Structure 1
Amino acid sequence: MASVPASHVYVRHLASFDGSDGVVRMPDPVPADGRTVPGGWWPPLMLDPHWIARHHREFDVFHIHFGFDALDPDTMGDIVHELSLRGKPLIYTVHDLRNPHHRDPDAHDHLLDVLVPAADRLLTLTAGAAAEIERRWNRAATVLPHPHVVERDRITRPRPYSTERVVGLHAKSIRANMDPLPVLEVAARTVAELRGVRLRVDLHDEVFQPDNHWYAPDVGRQLVEYGDRRNVEVRVHPYYSDDQLWDYLSSLTASILPYRFGSHSGWLEACQDLGTAVIAPSCGFYSDQHPCHDFGFDETSFAPETLAQAIRTAVTAAPRRATWPDRVRERRLLARRHREIYERALS
């Protein structure tokens, strides 16, 4: 089984705990420079028609998840052709109908226009995404939930006790789909009116590094200046390790997603594991993935009053949290269903 990329937490958590599903996934080939990104080796070397030609006897099914951002449609067409030539079924899980790293959707759309029609089987994470796939390509996609992101010891660990409620906005490295400043302005004003509520703003330090791809000092400075506001704290730091990220999310009452566009979210899934409420924009399919506190925010519009209300509701609502037994049942279901899909594709 060739899964791209096999090392991503989503893919790893599609497997049964004890290997009883009988699906053996090849390890990701390691690039010569050893480069990694969050979620796997980069670039995924399996996404190459020459790699497929050399290694096609080592796998039965080719399953694409992530990692094809830098490909052009012709190369994707060559990959599809090589798989067909070798008689290898192509499975594609449609995680992103809109790439969160691309301001212009055209490049991703052109790749989807090759990949979606060519796939032998399509999967996606939400009913909303499946409806969009059917509308755009007249293809049916099987809907299967996102598996847990956080491991058992964290999911079963009690949340830290605090009398203070904390709303978090993590601007990360201000990727293309993020527009944190208008969201932050409303959040800061709203929190200032609430007793016992603090707004925490986080930002990766690479936005201030001139040689970094994510260099954005002007936006970074504007975010940092919010630390002068009442009940607002700003922290600039490197990428968190997984443990640091789980500590951070567990410390929040609610996490705001300042996304103008997107589809699904592993961040949202981690919040579900840890019992942190999510304040999600109306774009994409976030509230299909799990119940969220919604606000109106997309590429063309922003309804500030809906964000203010979502914050007020989130900090007073009873928390929702995944349980480990539920996550175990879900993962067993995912392992069984993926095995069935692979078998049907091979038949």
Structure 2
Amino acid sequence: MLRPDWAASADFDVFHLHFGFDACSPEELGELAATLRSRGKPLVLTVHDLRNPHHEDRTTHDAQLDVLVPAADELVTLTRGAAGEVQRRWGREALVLPHPHVVDLRTMAVAQGCRSRRRDTPFRVGLHVKSLRPSMDPQRLLPTLVETVRDLPGAVLQVNAHRDVLDPDGQRRDDGLATYLEAHAERGDLELHVHDYLSDRDLWCYLGSLDVSVLPYRFGTHSGWLEACRDLGTTVVAPTCGFYREQGPVLSYVHDESTYDAGSLATAVRTAYEDRPRLGATVDERREQRRSVSDAHEALYRSLVG
């Protein structure tokens, strides 16, 4: 759909772009935008990522946005902070619409019901290193988490990672991280779970089993993981970089590319343990939010097609 030849002949009313343009050059995106313009087809761009979480070098992503943002007939983003950055960088106004639920409503209801009935289970603090994309810095956080959780009676630190990061022959194996995690798992400081990519069902079961999920990002913009945690009633401990705090209620700690405050992370984890805050969204709230987000998109599309 990002190929100009597809856009030149396909039958559609509005072209709404969210993701998928990482592999396109700025020139190719410019050609796509020109094709849409020549047909009178409106281009809507939802700016999810102002910084690509998969790449350290921001040059290419910035160049892609420098084509798409000015070319779009309308812009959408998820938070006021991101809209402010769009205004500063490109002089464009973006419509702010929250991210709707990620987990389906039935699964949400079941997970939240199960959480309310839990008794005498360990308090689980989760750190998920996935495939260790460049926006993450789990090794920076791990000593703080090990020390903090060790001092909380009945608490467990659970670290999940993909096989490509921790297996001896993994394509993205990180020797330092693997050695640290394996050593502390042997000492009983943490539970280490190594697995392949999880299906949606398994992912929701895993996230729903946690009391806290710590986001180890040092740069970024928004997080679908955060939204899924809120759907499942899992408290999110989020860094101060990006605009995670604006997506919904979270506990924050100071972390970006140049700064890390270990004390703020320890405080956030202890607060989650002591207060057991309920920061998630209810099914009714998500249902109403989905309705309002849908209505806003319909109004936006109708305004563009006249």
TM bin (shorter chain): over 0.9
Q: Following the alignment from structure 1 to structure 2, what is the Cα–Cα distance between the partners of residues 120 and 97?
A: 18
Q: Following the alignment from structure 2 to structure 1, what is the Cα–Cα distance between the partners of residues 6 and 187?
A: 54
Quick check: 2:215–2:236 contact (8 Å CA) kept in 1? yes
Deviation at 1:316, TM superposition (A): 2.2
- The question of 1:274 aligning with 2:229 is answered no
Could you tell me which runs of 5 or more consecutive residues in structure 2 were left unpaired when the two chains were aligned.
none
- Matching residue within 38, 44, 61 for 1:108: 61
| Secondary structure in 2 matching 1:201 | strand
- Matching residue within 180, 188, 202 for 2:160: 202
Residue type matched to 1:250 in 2?
G
- Matching residue within 255, 280, 283 for 1:324: 283
Q: Give the fraction of aligned pairs with identical amino acids, expressed as a percent.
A: 48
Deviation at 1:209, TM superposition (A): 5.9
Deviation at 1:226, TM superposition (A): 2.6
What residue is the counterpart of 1:90 in the other structure? 43
Deviations 1:186-234 (A, max 9, x none): 1001111111111000000122468865343443333333313444111
RMSD, aligned CA: 1.5
Deviations 1:41-88 (A, max 9, x none): xxxxx1111211232xx1011000001111111111111111111110
Quick check: 1:165–1:253 contact (8 Å CA) kept in 2? yes
What residue is the counterpart of 1:261 in the other structure? 219
Q: Following the alignment from structure 2 to structure 1, what is the Cα–Cα distance between the partners of residues 218 and 197?
A: 22
Deviations 1:112-165 (A, max 9, x none): 111111100000000110111111111100000100011122211213414221
Larger helix fraction of residues: 2
Quick check: 1:48–1:79 contact (8 Å CA) kept in 2? yes
Q: Map 1:1-347 onto structure 2 (within 5 A).
A: 46-55=1-10, 58-157=11-110, 158-160=113-115, 161-163=118-120, 164-208=122-166, 214-317=172-275, 318-347=277-306
Deviation at 1:334, TM superposition (A): 1.1
Quick check: 2:215–2:238 contact (8 Å CA) kept in 1? yes
Q: Following the alignment from structure 1 to structure 2, what is the Cα–Cα distance between the partners of residues 333 and 235?
A: 39
| Secondary structure in 1 matching 2:2 | coil
Deviations 1:214-267 (A, max 9, x none): 343443333333313444111111111111111111111100000010111111
| Secondary structure in 2 matching 1:153 | helix
Deviation at 1:320, TM superposition (A): 2.4
Q: Following the alignment from structure 2 to structure 1, what is the Cα–Cα distance between the partners of residues 102 and 255?
A: 26
Check 1:209–1:202 CA distance in 2 against 1; reply closer, same or farther (3 A cut): closer
Q: Following the alignment from structure 1 to structure 2, what is the Cα–Cα distance between the partners of residues 183 and 229?
A: 18
TM-score by length of 2: 0.94
Quick check: 1:97–1:263 contact (8 Å CA) kept in 2? yes
TM-score by length of 1: 0.83
Quick check: 2:249–2:280 contact (8 Å CA) kept in 1? no
Check 1:54–1:222 CA distance in 2 against 1; reply closer, same or farther (3 A cut): farther
Could you tell me which runs of 5 or more consecutive residues in structure 1 were left unpaired when the two chains were aligned.
1-45
